[in-house]
Structure 1
Amino acid sequence: MNERASNRCLLYADVAGGVRLAVKFGEAEAGYAVERCMNRMSRCAEAYSGSDLDLRPEVLVAGFPDADSALLAAREMRERVRALPPMSGIKLVLRAAVVLESEGDGERSVAEKLAARLVEASNPDSITVSDRLGRILSPAMRRMLGKGDEAAPVPPAPAVEPAEAPQAQPAAPVEPRPEPAPPQKQMRVSFRGQSWIIDAAHPTLLFGRETGNDIVVSDPRVSRQHARIELRNGAFYLADSSTNGTYVLEEGSPEHCVKRDEMTLAEKGHIGCGFSVADNMSDAVAFALD
């Protein structure tokens, strides 16, 4: 088996929440909500070279040529599901797992069962990868996993016999002193007279050529789901998922091209989707920390 074939991956994505919707609104309304969700997920799979799509009630299975493409597709699916508004407080959530197809010894059904078990053991709104797949991830994907809530399964820690703690004298009660709340970080993004705010309440902004993005840039050099800005751990990241790359021009720095990778954004600058900001400032996306 050549290296390219051995690195093919299988993505198993499950949508939870449909049963609760059916109980409250009926099967037809719940089915419509889940169908909208599945349509968004299938478009994400196709955008990242997904093939052999298998759509079932509340489950999507697809093959991908490499681990990075599968994980980028899973992240995009999760963002699209997150963006769906809740129905009377009930919100659909995504659980996904990515494994190597070779972990099934040539049988797709075996690899799928492994991915399904990982999904079943995971938390809602999470993405999990198998141990073998985690070892071949690119450095960019490793950083992405480390900064988000997606984590490769790790072996359980060895059991430790609990030691008997010495009896301590009760401490005198101390009046807790409230800590000042940290300042709210937010970034303002502008494009053709419109503005968006990225903050803790709205931590992700999507842009690309497809109409489902927050910012739609109509240019043949722009991919359907081109890139996104995310607020994670107090910093703003630009993550590219495009064909032609994303150009970032920050004040006082040379222009930088990000392609299938991510970078931390500074205080102020402009973004070109598939084109140099210097060549086409009028179609660039502006950003600035508020």
Structure 2
Amino acid sequence: MKVPKQISAAGDRTAVRQQISATVLFADICGSTRLFEKYGNLQARQIESRVLELLKAKTAEFDGKVVKTIGDEIMSRFADAARALQAACEMHSTIKDDAYLLEFDIAVRIGLQHGPVLVEQSDLFGDAVNVAARMVALAKADQIITTRETVRQLPDNLELMTRSLGWSRVRGKLDELEIVEVIWQEPSSLTQLVSIEQQDEVRSLLFARLILEYHNKTYEVMPDSHIFTIGRGDRNHLVVDQDRVSRTHADIEFRQGKFILVDGSTNGTYVLLNNGSRFFVQREEFTLHDRGIICLGKAVTANDPDLIRYECVQP
């Protein structure tokens, strides 16, 4: 009996899937848009190409594999966290020391995470990929950010190169993760951190809960809550059934003692603070302060029945 081609093709795809334990690393060039504005398309592209070339070379040097290049970012995988961390440190150092790049003041940010991943057709999928992507988003220029979970995979001498930045809620994770910075620079260039006890004390002085009011209904978001979702879809915690509202429009997360509005919508989110300041948030984050109004997909107007009123309540 002849096997249909589509079944055979599906079987081929399944055959190349492999679940392994690996460290996923994202390295992203900071301010690439500024490069194109300042130096023009040709030179900016040459700068980007040089940076990506160095990042790929360091990946290979530490036995890693470049999975793919996404614009001004590379995604790599390593067999273990130690090699990935060493590669990350060398990436930063090499870019800072490269003769061609010196005059352009180039910086990258790096995020990494160790865990099980699914290798499929030369691409990677899984929780470790998602967390690593979140870590690079949290990183600032010249930083390497990971989690305590990854640090536990390191030998003692490399674990000493890390410091905790506190706890943060990460999209897709039920519990907060301890965020850790890898120290690759000289100690004199680092900002001194307060102790964990001091961090906890500071957090206790910050907002303890968030109150939302919509259509005469009150929603309370606590620091230990899961991510609070807002959108048109009926699975959201707060449903706003309007045409300009995306199915999954925005999330509210609690991080480092603050409530963060994370917009992921098509039309954006408008925020009006109690002091009259107005903000437009689209595909980015905004820290909610004191009290104000949130409006999805359109500017705040006085008589709009779909305004979401919020208040950050202190303990």
- Higher share of residues assigned strand: 2
Shorter-chain-normalised TM-score: which range? Answer: 0.3 to 0.5
Q: Give TM-score scaled by structure 1 length.
A: 0.47
Q: TM-score, normalised by structure 2?
A: 0.43
